Amino acid sequence: IRGEEVRVSGKSIDDLQECIRLVKGLNLELPISFKNLK
């Protein structure tokens, strides 16, 4: 966690995509965006 950012890294793109699906499914009332920093 860095200020207003959360950085997630992993070896498998499938794991990272599952993380994105999980966060999107939380229906948080916060502006959330995702970046691919390949």
pLDDT by residue, tens only, the chain of 38 residues: 788 888 888 889 899 999 999 999 998 898 999 887 76
pLDDT the model gives residue 38? 66
- Residue keyed to tokens 């890294």: 9
pLDDT the model gives residue 26? 94
Tokens representing 27 are 């229906």
pLDDT the model gives residue 14? 92
Separation between Cα atoms, residue 14 and residue 29, nearest integer Å = 26
Ramachandran assignment for 27, one of left (phi > 0), alpha (psi -120 to 50 degrees), beta (any other): left
Separation between Cα atoms, residue 2 and residue 4, nearest integer Å = 6
